[in-house]
Amino acid sequence: MSVVDRMENRFRSLPSVDRLMSEDMIKQLRDEYPHDLLVDLIRQHLEQDRVSIALGNPCPSINEIVESVYARAQALASPNPRPVINASGVILHTNLGRAPLSQEAIAAMALVSKGYCNLEIDLDSGTRGSRNIHIEQVLCQLTGAEAALVVNNNASAVLLGLTALAKRREVIVSRGQAVEIGGGFRIPEVMKQSGAKLVEVGTTNSTYAQDFEQAIGQRTAALLRVHSSNFKIVGFAHVVTLEELVALGNRYEVPVFDDLGSGCFLDTTEFGLDPEPMVQQSISLGVGLAFFSGDKLVGGPQAGLIVGKKHLVDKLKKHPLARAVRIDKVRLAGLVSTLIPYLKGEAVNNIPVWRMISAPLDEMERRATHWAQALGDLAQVIEGESMVGGGSLPGDTLPTRLVAVGKQGKKRGQNVAQILAQRLRTQEPPVVGRLSGSILLLDPRSVLPEEDQAVLQALRSAVASLRRD
């Protein structure tokens, strides 16, 4: 039999749609899913099977097809994204949704989600209002800024600022700060999209105030500082301080824009970390606009926060792009509730990110020991380091205690740590650890204490499944 004939036989071995619809597992789905949807899922699967067979792969069995279609239908209707427990030790884990929200923020978001709210109405006068009014006063009080605006993320904030104030004009930035952050967000490309012209000065490792001064001309719209939030330049290097940049801007009547990245309201050195630029400092030094995220070190939902001088913020508020990037009512409510503890001096105890950062080492020891006991002789507690993450405090770590599962045994040619990591990810809720080579590490610092019972249950369940195999 020729190769073509064998392939034709494999194609003919594929069951029909009607045959698959008559299978018991598919019949079970009929009460939950429309007939047309099930037919469509089956046809999609059969088309994929035809492509696979054409590549030389064997024809799947009817049971394999049915089970796959059943799983696809169930997955399609499952709520996603779904909650996970972050035991990786990276507090602001971008892939896991960055900052966990405070209970107050969650409650505020749920409350405005239930029905209508006073998003854009003045309840005293009954006339239309601005959604920005709910947060501007809080941000101004917190930062010392004259005015504030909130959009949907920091990339939008920077784009709006450059588009509204620097389109067809020049923005000067140090060559060492023409950076790329996560997700391919590059300052030069944002500049291009905004219509502003990027003027790079200095070198990658050294830029001086005179480099900026020599580049200032009639078409200069702003001087831009970009915080290198996810990398460090060490060794022979020099950067222009924000004080120098503001003094230069004042001399030539050119505003300074400060892209702070993650943004921060608390002094990180008090927690044993390197200094992170604080928003209040930028405003006190006299920047025209400061841009930063709401979902990183601020500890709130995704948002882009803009604070600064009133005449500049007012121009942003009136720009058409402001409507395209505005924040929605749910995140706005969560962000306001996140900021209030900062005003009250209660952020360290109320905001999960700061609870994790400030947690003492002896608490990490106690919790890690408890976790390790659930794993029995598979695990041991070792010294380790946690990362803040989220594009903030690059290379900076916090001491912690880790539960380590190493090479104590093998199952089916695989390392126990790798199997356990996979089993933990399939628990409900999933627990995500960190694999370092062939060792699984679980860090309690990035897990809130109230999640410990769920972690222990997941650990016991995963170990039980290992022993059953």
Cβ pair 442, 402 in contact under 8 A: yes
321: exposed, middle or buried (Cβ count in 10 Å: 0-12, 13-18, 19+) = middle
- Mean per-residue pLDDT, 268-277: 92
- What distance in Å separates the CA atoms of residue 56 and residue 198, rounded to the nearest whole number? 52
* 64 within some domain: yes
Model pLDDT, residue 413? 45
Q: What is the DSSP letter of 201?
A: E
**pLDDT higher at 249 or 237:** 249
Q: Are residues 185 and 46 in the same domain?
A: no
* 128 within some domain: yes
Q: Are residues 71 and 111 in the same domain?
A: no
User: Which amino acid makes up residue 455?
Assistant: V
* 55 within some domain: yes
Q: Tell me the pLDDT tens digit for each residue of 183-226.
A: 555 667 777 788 889 899 988 788 889 999 999 999 999 999 99
Q: Tell me the pLDDT tens digit for each residue of 97-114.
A: 999 999 999 999 999 999
Q: Are residues 318 and 225 in the same domain?
A: yes
**pLDDT higher at 112 or 236:** 112
Q: What is the pTM of this model?
A: 0.87
Q: Are residues 164 and 281 in the same domain?
A: yes
Whether the predicted pLDDT of 245 surpasses 50: yes
Give the Å distances, CA to CA, from 442 to 90, 170, 174, 381, 465: 11, 48, 40, 10, 19
Q: Tell me the pLDDT tens digit for each residue of 275-306.
A: 899 999 999 999 999 999 999 999 999 999 99
- What distance in Å separates the CA atoms of residue 346 and residue 342, rounded to the nearest whole number? 6
Q: Tell me the pLDDT tens digit for each residue of 333-376.
A: 999 999 999 999 999 999 999 999 999 999 999 999 999 999 98
Q: Which of 305, 330, 350 is the last residue of a domain?
A: 350
User: Which amino acid makes up residue 17?
Assistant: V
Cβ pair 389, 94 in contact under 8 A: yes
* 251 within some domain: yes
Q: Which residues contact 134 (CB under 8 A, 6 or more apart)?
A: 119, 332, 333, 336
**What angle do the packed helices 154-166 and 187-194 form, to 10 degrees?**
50
* Longest distance between any two alpha carbons in the chain, whole Å: 86
Residues of the chain with pLDDT > 90: what percent?
A: 69
Whether the predicted pLDDT of 34 surpasses 50: yes
Q: Are residues 385 and 271 in the same domain?
A: no
Model pLDDT, residue 59? 87
Q: Are residues 326 and 397 in the same domain?
A: no
Model pLDDT, residue 394? 67
Q: Are residues 305 and 184 in the same domain?
A: yes
Q: What is the DSSP letter of 58?
A: P
Cβ pair 161, 289 in contact under 8 A: yes
3-state secondary structure of 234: coil
271, two tokens: 């927690």
Cβ pair 371, 442 in contact under 8 A: yes
- What distance in Å separates the CA atoms of residue 265 and residue 1, rounded to the nearest whole number? 74
Domain that holds residue 68: 3-76
Arithmetic mean of pLDDT over the chain: 90
* 98 within some domain: no
Whether the predicted pLDDT of 408 surpasses 90: no
CATH of the domain at 454: 3.90.1150.180
Q: What are phi and psi of 151, to 5 degrees?
A: -125, -170
Model pLDDT, residue 340? 97
- What distance in Å separates the CA atoms of residue 257 and residue 260, rounded to the nearest whole number? 9
> Beta partners for 174?
201
Whether the predicted pLDDT of 86 surpasses 90: yes
3: exposed, middle or buried (Cβ count in 10 Å: 0-12, 13-18, 19+) = exposed
- What distance in Å separates the CA atoms of residue 34 and residue 29, rounded to the nearest whole number? 9
Cβ pair 65, 38 in contact under 8 A: no
Count structural domains, the chain.
3
Q: Are residues 258 and 369 in the same domain?
A: no
Q: Are residues 166 and 211 in the same domain?
A: yes
Mean pLDDT check: name the lowest of 53-57, 183-187, 367-371, 436-440.
183-187
Q: Are residues 323 and 410 in the same domain?
A: no
* 291 within some domain: yes
* 122 within some domain: yes
Mean pLDDT check: name the lowest of 52-61, 162-171, 296-305, 357-366.
52-61
Q: Are residues 377 and 322 in the same domain?
A: no
* 134 within some domain: yes
Model pLDDT, residue 206? 84
Q: Sign (positive/negative) of CA torsion 277, 283, 284, 287?
A: positive
Q: Tell me the pLDDT tens digit for each residue of 306-342.
A: 999 999 999 999 999 999 999 999 999 999 999 999 9
Q: Are residues 19 and 141 in the same domain?
A: no
User: Which contiguous run of DSSP H or E holds residue 415?
Assistant: strand 414-415
Residues of the chain with pLDDT > 70: what percent?
A: 91
Model pLDDT, residue 1? 46
